Structures are given as C-alpha cells and as structure tokens.
Structure 1
C-alpha cells in the first residue's frame, strides 16, 4: 500500500504536469464537462467558470483592494472557441469572452473546485455581496 502511494506521489513530481484531457463537452448554457487520462472528471457550472475566469475583466468590483466578481449565479455559456490544442475561449452571455481556459487550468479548477467555491461564497459574504444579479431600478 505504502509503496504504491509513494510511486503515485513520485510520478506527480517527476512529470509535474496534469494528466492529458480526454473529453470536453460543452452543455450550453449551463456547464462544461471535462475528463482526463487519470480518470478524473469534472463538471463546471457557468457561474463557477465565469467567476474563475483566467482573464481580468472590467465587470469586477474592487472592494478594499480585493477584486470580487459577484451577481453571476444565472450567467450562461453562449459558445466556446478552440485555442490551439491547449484550451478554449468561453463566451458568456454577460459578454465576457477574454479568458482562455487551458486544459491544465481546467484540471486545477476541478481538483480544487469545492475549496474555490467555498472561498468565493465566503468573500461575497465578507463584502455583503450576492451571487444573484442586482435588480435593475
């Protein structure tokens, strides 16, 4: 048991890269599903991907020097474009389209999905913000 666990850890350190992407399915407007060669599979909501977009965007509120994206609970995915053989650009219905999601970034997001979402919700609560969009006056 110990030797196989050690071998797995050693393998990660030797290669230092996430496993190869084997499947990507776009389920517009709600989610993206990815699978990797190590058997990992992740399903990401549009909201989660929008909040953790790898691009800096003008629709972010700066609260005490911290950049916070809020009000994206109902954001949708309109489409996606391949970027080389390493990622995709996702176009959201709030017109955000500058983030490039690499396969490595998808693996990172999936491996840390629950802690990232908890952190996001905690940050919103700290700043008295909501996942829901602001009502128009």
Structure 2
C-alpha cells in the first residue's frame, strides 16, 4: 500500500467530529489536523476515485455534506471510513491522513482548479457511473 513510510508520524488520537464534519488526528510529532470529511471523500485513495492509473481520476462532486457513518481500523496502519454516500473502499494510511492534513489548503486549491477545468460546481450531483466491465470488482 502506498504511503507506509518508515519513521513517519503515527496517530496518537483520532476523533470524529460529526457536527463540524471533520476528522481530528493528533500525531506523535505534535502535529494535529482537522481534516474535513469532504476533503477525505474527494481525495479518497480508492480506485473508484483515483482510477487505476494516471489520468483515470474521477472528479468527485456533491460531497460537501458527506458524513462518516463508520471508521474501521485496518491493522495498525490505517482506517477505512464509510461515508454517508455509501463510499467505503478507501483505506487511509496514517501517512496519507498526515499528507491530507498538512497539504489541506493546496489540495482545496487543486480541487477548485479541477472543478473549474471540468466546468462543474462543487455541489453538482455526481454523474452516473458508466458501465465499465474492467473486471476490478471493487466498484
């Protein structure tokens, strides 16, 4: 799995804030991040969002009000959230969560650029998924 770096900070605490829709993660190096659920959903590391290679990313829209309905541990290295829109295939390693938190502003800017380039609004409903038949089985 990408992003499991030796010596990377590990979380000391993880708190789901349902009202403000953020995941608060405090790391062993003293950093604490409040990662919005929407950012997590938009940048989910799943193949459904990231695709199976460069250029296959699927722009996510309509995720502003997404919530977490479950947050399951994955071994000692990650968590797997289930979002209110049913998405549950992303596994967020500790260092991926750290990167999301550390780069939040840049990621929001990149997301805004991608939306503008596609000519869609952040709150637009997602387009229906095309039938792919690629055999992944995960979507």
Regarding TM over 0.5, the answer is yes
Counterpart of 2:18 in structure 1 is 28
Counterpart of 1:38 in structure 2 is 29
Superposition map of 1:100-111 within 5 A: 100-111=91-102
The alignment's C-alpha RMSD in Å is 2.3
Q: Is 2:68 the partner of 1:77?
A: yes
Q: Is 2:9 the partner of 1:19?
A: yes
Which structure dedicates a bigger proportion of its chain to strand? 1
1:39 deviation in Å?
A: 1.1
Question: Conserved in 1, the CA contact under 8 Å of 2:61 and 2:125?
Answer: no
1:118 deviation in Å?
A: 0.5
1:19 deviation in Å?
A: 1.5
Larger radius of gyration: 1
- Secondary structure in 1 aligned to 2:123? coil
Aligned length, in residue pairs: 117
Which structure dedicates a bigger proportion of its chain to helix? 1
Q: Which runs of 4 or more aligned residues in structure 1 lie more than 6 Å from their structure 2 counterparts after TM superposition?
A: none
Check 1:16–1:87 CA distance in 2 against 1; reply closer, same or farther (3 A cut).
closer
1:132 deviation in Å?
A: 0.9
Superposition map of 1:47-66 within 5 A: 47-57=38-48
- Secondary structure in 2 aligned to 1:44? strand
Structure 1 window deviating more from structure 2 (66-75 vs 112-121): it is 66-75
